Amino acid sequence: MSVEEILRHSNYSMLEGKIDNRIISCLQGMGFEKPTEIQAKVIPHMLLGVDVIAGAKTGSGKTLAFLIPLVDNLIRNNFSKVHGTGSIIISPTRELALQTYNILKQLLINIKMSHALIVGGVKKSKELLSLKKGVNIIVGTPGRILDHLENTKEFNCQNLKCLILDEADKLLEAGFEKHITGIIKHLPKNRQTGLFSATIDERVKNLARVTLREKPTSVIVKDEIQSTVAGLKQGYFICPVEKRIPWLFKMLKRARKLKVLVFFSSCKSVDFHYEFFKKCCKGDILHIHGKLSQSRRKEAYENFVETKSGILFCTDVAARGLDIPAVDWVVQFDPPSDVKEYIHRVGRTARGINNHGNAVILLRPEEECFTNFLEKEKVYLDKYTFDFSEEVQNMLEDIIQSNGVMKVLARKAYLSFLRCYKKHPLSKVFNIKSLDLKLAAKAFGFLEQPHVDFLQNKSKKKL
C-alpha cells in the first residue's frame, strides 16, 4: 500500500516503516491520529523530494503537511549541527512563526535536532550564538532571515534540503517579495521547496515560478460547497456607525465567559478601544498589533492561547494561520480589506475536526451589499438581530471630555479609521462619501467632530 493510500484511508500509526517511528510517536502524543485531506495529499509528494505548491483553506492542517516530511527528510540524511541548516520555514508574521516553531518543538521532543526561531523585534545576539553552533531547522520571518544570510558568516546553508514558504499569499500582501527573492539568491538551487497558501492567485503562481523547480506538484484542496469550515456559524449585524461602541459593549458583556477575538482596521484603533474597554468592561482584555514590541506581542499571544475565557483586540496580524484553541467568537468590528481577509479572520474559530465556532461582522446599512461579495465566494451569512443600551455611550463621551490621554487616543483612532476607510479596496461598498463624519466621530466619543484635513478637496487655481 502506498503512503497516499495509507493516509487517505487510515491513520498515522500505519505509516510505520514509511517515516521515522519517533515522528509517529510524537504525533500521537500531540493528539493527532488521522491526517487531514491536505496532509494526506501533500506528505507523499514531499517524502519523494518533489517541489509542491499547496492550497487549502485556513485551519486545514497545512503546518503538519510540511513539518512531517521536512523532519523525516533530515533524519534520513543524518543531519546534525555540523551540517548546518537543512530546512528553513518562512512565515509572514512573528506570531505565525512562533506558532509553527512551537509545533516543530513538539514534533522534535524525542528527536535530537537543533532548531531556532529567527524573527525581528528581538536582539540578534542569541540568534548569532545558535547559528555559530549550527541550526538544523530555522523558522523565521523574511527580513530577519535575509539579514542573517547577508551579514552572518556562520549561517551555513550549503547543505539546505528544504525551503518552506508558509502563507505565501500573505507574504506577498505584506510586501516581502523582494526579501524572498533576496533569500533565494543565497540558497543552493538543488533543494526541495514547498509553497503553502490559503489562496492560489496569479501573484502566488508567479512566486512559485521564481522559487520552485520546473513542473512542481500542485495540490489544491477546495470545498465546492463553502469556503469556510462546516462548524462555523456566521452572520452580520446592521449597525449605524454611531452605535458601534454600545453594540460591542453588549456583545462582550454577553460573551464574558467565552473566548473572543475582535478585529480592528488599525493599530491606533486597537489601542483606543483596548484602553476604553479596560476601564468599562469587566473581563480579561488583551491587545496585539504590529507596532507593539515583540515581547508584548508574544506575551499577549501566549496569554490568549492559554486562557479559557477572555478578549483579544487585534489587527489582521492575528488573522493568518494562528491556531488559538477554543475561540468561541470572532467579531469583525471594522471591515476586512477583502473577502479573502474575511475568510482568514473567521478561520481563527471552529478549527480542527468536529470543532464549532461563531463569527459576526458589523456593517453599516450602506454596507450590507458586502454580503453579496461573500456569497460569490461561497461564504453565506445569516442576518442577526441584537439589542443594546446607550449607557456606555454616555460613559465614553464623559471620558473623552475629561481625560486628555484618552482624547488623544480617540482622535488618532478616529483619523486612522477614516484613512483606512478612504483607501478601502472595495470602495463601492465601503464608500467614504456615504459616511457621516460627525456620527463617525461620535463612535469615538466626540461631541464635536475633530478636524479632518485629508478628506478636503483642495483645488488649485490656475494662474
For residue 103, tell me if it sits in a domain: yes
**Per-residue pLDDT tens digits for 182-199:** 999 999 999 999 999 888
- ∠ CA 278-281-283, rounded to 5°: 85
Residues 6+ apart with CB under 8 A from 309: 256, 257, 258, 259, 283, 284
Question: Do 195 and 335 fall within a single domain?
Answer: no
C-alpha distances out from residue 144 to 135, 177, 182, 396, 441, Å: 15, 14, 12, 41, 40
**Per-residue pLDDT tens digits for 137-152:** 999 999 999 999 999 9
Question: Do 292 and 438 fall within a single domain?
Answer: yes
Question: Do 95 and 56 fall within a single domain?
Answer: yes
Range of the structural domain that residue 263 is part of: 234-442
Question: Do 50 and 187 fall within a single domain?
Answer: yes
**Per-residue pLDDT tens digits for 71-91:** 999 999 999 999 999 999 999
Question: Do 183 and 250 fall within a single domain?
Answer: no
Name the pTM for this structure.
0.71
Q: Is the pLDDT of residue 463 over 70?
A: no
Question: Do 215 and 263 fall within a single domain?
Answer: no
Are 328 and 359 a contacting pair, CB within 8 Å?
A: no
For residue 454, tell me if it sits in a domain: no
- Give 391's pLDDT tier (boundaries 50, 70, 90): confident
pLDDT averaged over the chain?
89
Report pLDDT for 61: 83
Q: Is the pLDDT of residue 457 over 60?
A: no
For residue 456, tell me if it sits in a domain: no
Are 315 and 351 a contacting pair, CB within 8 Å?
A: no
For residue 281, tell me if it sits in a domain: yes
Report pLDDT for 231: 82
For residue 105, tell me if it sits in a domain: yes
C-alpha distances out from residue 98 to 42, 92, 158, 298, 322, Å: 23, 11, 25, 8, 9
Say how many domains are in the chain. Answer: 2
Are 339 and 369 a contacting pair, CB within 8 Å?
A: no
Question: Do 21 and 144 fall within a single domain?
Answer: yes
Numbers of helices and strands, H then E, in the chain: 18, 14
CATH of the domain at 270: 3.40.50.300
Question: Do 255 and 203 fall within a single domain?
Answer: no
For residue 332, tell me if it sits in a domain: yes
